[in-house]
Structure 1
Amino acid sequence: MPFWGIRPVFLSLPALYPSGRHPLFRVAMHRPGSGSALAVARRPAVAAGPADCPGPHRAACHSPAGWRLTALIHRGAYLELFRAAPANVVGPGCHVLKRPIPRHTSAAFARAQIAREAQVAAAAAHPHLVSVLGSVGEPAGNLLPLLDGVSLRRLLEHRGAGGAAAGRPIGWALWIARQAAAALSQLHAAGWLHGQVRPQHVLVGPDGHATLIDLGQARRLNTMECSVDEWPVSSPEYAPPEAAVPRGTLSAASDTYALGVLLFELLAGRPPFQAADPKRLARAHRQELPDDLRAVRPGVSHEVSELVRRMLAKEPLRRPSDDELLRWLTELEIAELA
């Protein structure tokens, strides 16, 4: 049975911007045209019936007109995800509705995230990038395809930590990284920075197909949105060195660095830098060199170790470009399969 294997981490950024100064608050709400096959007539929402939303969440599960919400998948800080089906279709449905939690104190920020995800998905369609099929309900939520798979984070946790990844084929890790790199390349070409590349945001299907998800906090490249003073980075484990310096500026190379951290973790079973204190972790990203992968994971070639080292370069200009990274990952993946 298809399963949306994601437990998104929705950050409490509105608390950092109580006056609405966060860049996402300035996003214009995006709605598809009335000609969209998924556009829903503007009628009052109807409450889901008992079969639509069983259990303790029944009272909070309200279906938008024309749709049934059949299961609560996840409720975060200010966004919630439901499995959904058209009202005239039998079964649990093959869509996901991602929408703001009704009457939440951070509703404005949640609506801005929903709008930004729709905007970015429309600009950068790619087989390895999550798609937004339409806008549904009031306040608007994004209708997404129900993807069959689990998050890369859950796969890593299932395998265990501290070297348990040694049983994972190196070629598989390169394959996952290449698919994510292809999605990032499309995003960057469309003028967007993902900004949250980490295992929680990579969905892996049973066939190994990887999908980069969660575009709600994507930033416009070459704008003030990429200033860490204007919009701080909130995931220190995968944050590039430039995110931890005053007046730092993020670029496409920042996503490359985060993908390098992810690839290191896939191969070594742990991230390159670990610390309980965020400040100490940021200092490690800025100043310390990662371990040589060949010493951590026997069997890793010099070429794979060198690629990860380049992706984790402290200076953004020393990291591979999108084209270089895709070519390098493809060649190494083929070499591993040979």
Structure 2
Amino acid sequence: MNHRPGRIAKQMKIHLPQDTVTDTNQREQLGDDSVIGDWQLDRSITSAGPEHSLLQFQAAPAGTPTHFDYLLHTPADPNSASALSLLQREFHISQQLSSPHLLPVLDVHLENPPYFIVTPRLPGDTLRTVLHNRGKLELYNALWLLRQAAQAVAALHARGWSTPRLHADNLQIEPDGHLTLSTVGHARRIKNEIDDEALIYADTCRLAGLFMEMTNDDLASTVGNNREFSRQISDCYVGPTSSVTTLLREMLNPSSPCDKQSVQILVERLVRLEIGFLSRPA
């Protein structure tokens, strides 16, 4: 299912392992039923959500069991109000906005048990697994992924949501380098101007943290160092290392509170950097 546009990053080569089964007893927790609603289940993938309150299964429309191209998400405890709330929020946000970096919800059953939602099952693996298998990424690839994560966050902000679980376990990386924020049931509503500033700044900090996790330690340590980059504040094209770290420093260390910039501005500036860097000869 190719639901997103996008330009493949230069030299982006990520070789990912096949899906692995974890929490092998999850299927048994559902009893002997292999069909929920109009969906036939295959094998459990993992548990998810706070304290593993949700179960995820490979699934296919009933009658077509040879193509398990979907994920069915259902509460581990069918009586859990918090797990149901996660599914309801996933569905609600999916109805509010569409982004190539957020999963669409394709089917829902939330009025009475069995509660579930269905999303596409994307190829690839989490950013955490990619970093574990490959180690730190080259800067161009880290920039490519950081920009996509920022686009997902900006889409949520535009509809009044913040995402406290913006971390490597919740970001799916496809073999072509496309990034998707896997779940948004944890998102928090931005309710007022004070929340707006605090939550948006917190999400910007999380984006910087992702960049630090993806790149070399000596590069990451320079983020936020005002002295080292004081001469490069307005220069987006000095070089990839100094440019990205300078950009993040500006976002996280504004000269005055009124200078705080939105994540959408961060996206726009990352796109400028990406175009500048990827258009240069190798």
TM-score range, shorter chain: 0.7 to 0.9
Contact 1:81–1:99 (8 Å) recurs in 2: yes
Contact 2:26–2:55 (8 Å) recurs in 1: no
* Aligned-pair identity (%): 30
Residues 58-67 or 253-262, more deviating:
58-67
C-alpha distance in structure 2 between counterparts of 1:271 and 1:154, whole Å = 21
TM-score, structure 1 as length reference: 0.63
- Structure 1: segments with no counterpart, 5+ residues: 8-54, 228-248, 274-287
**Is 2:238 the partner of 1:305?**
no
Displacement of 1:331: 1.4
What secondary structure is seen at the aligned counterpart in 1 of 2:198? coil
C-alpha distance in structure 1 between counterparts of 2:151 and 2:268, whole Å = 10
Partner of 1:221: 190
Report the number of matched residues: 244
Contact 1:203–1:211 (8 Å) recurs in 2: yes
Q: Identify which of 107, 128, 133 aligns with 2:101.
A: 128
C-alpha distance in structure 2 between counterparts of 1:212 and 1:119, whole Å = 16
C-alpha distance in structure 1 between counterparts of 2:129 and 2:218, whole Å = 14
Amino acid at match of 1:190: R
The CA deviation string for residues 105-159 of structure 1, in whole angstroms up to 9 with x for no partner, is xx11101111111111211211111211121372321101011111111111223
C-alpha distance in structure 1 between counterparts of 2:36 and 2:209, whole Å = 40
Partner of 2:199: 251
Contact 2:139–2:241 (8 Å) recurs in 1: no
Partner of 1:155: 130
CA gap of 1:6–1:326, structure 2 versus 1, over 3 A, is farther
What secondary structure is seen at the aligned counterpart in 2 of 1:111? helix
Contact 2:240–2:277 (8 Å) recurs in 1: no
Partner of 2:271: 330
CA gap of 1:57–1:118, structure 2 versus 1, over 3 A, is closer
Contact 1:272–1:290 (8 Å) recurs in 2: no
C-alpha distance in structure 1 between counterparts of 2:272 and 2:175, whole Å = 24
Provide the aligned C-alpha RMSD in A.
3.4
CA gap of 1:260–1:58, structure 2 versus 1, over 3 A, is closer
The CA deviation string for residues 176-209 of structure 1, in whole angstroms up to 9 with x for no partner, is 1111111111111111112221111111100111
What secondary structure is seen at the aligned counterpart in 1 of 2:267? helix
CA gap of 1:68–1:175, structure 2 versus 1, over 3 A, is same
C-alpha distance in structure 2 between counterparts of 1:114 and 1:316, whole Å = 36
Partner of 1:95: 70
What secondary structure is seen at the aligned counterpart in 1 of 2:140? helix
C-alpha distance in structure 1 between counterparts of 2:94 and 2:258, whole Å = 27
Structure 2 counterparts to residues 1-338 of structure 1, below 5 A? 56-61=25-30, 62=33, 63-76=35-48, 77-103=52-78, 107-136=80-109, 138-160=113-135, 165=136, 168-223=137-192, 226=195, 250-269=198-217, 300-313=240-253, 318-337=259-278, 338=280
Contact 2:211–2:220 (8 Å) recurs in 1: no
Amino acid at match of 1:313: N
The CA deviation string for residues 226-256 of structure 1, in whole angstroms up to 9 with x for no partner, is 59xxxxxxxxxxxxxxxxxxxxx73223212
CA gap of 1:318–1:272, structure 2 versus 1, over 3 A, is farther
Amino acid at match of 2:44: L
Contact 1:292–1:305 (8 Å) recurs in 2: no
C-alpha distance in structure 2 between counterparts of 1:116 and 1:293, whole Å = 43
Structure 1 moving runs of 4+ over 3 Å: 1-7, 55-58, 223-227, 269-273, 288-294, 314-320
Contact 2:91–2:105 (8 Å) recurs in 1: yes
Contact 1:257–1:312 (8 Å) recurs in 2: yes
Displacement of 1:319: 4.5
C-alpha distance in structure 2 between counterparts of 1:124 and 1:3, whole Å = 31
CA gap of 1:102–1:92, structure 2 versus 1, over 3 A, is farther
What secondary structure is seen at the aligned counterpart in 2 of 1:144? strand
TM-score, structure 2 as length reference: 0.74
C-alpha distance in structure 1 between counterparts of 2:120 and 2:275, whole Å = 31
Residues 326-335 or 205-214, more deviating:
326-335
Displacement of 1:58: 4.6
Contact 2:27–2:43 (8 Å) recurs in 1: no
CA gap of 1:69–1:2, structure 2 versus 1, over 3 A, is farther
CA gap of 1:58–1:208, structure 2 versus 1, over 3 A, is closer
C-alpha distance in structure 1 between counterparts of 2:126 and 2:210, whole Å = 13
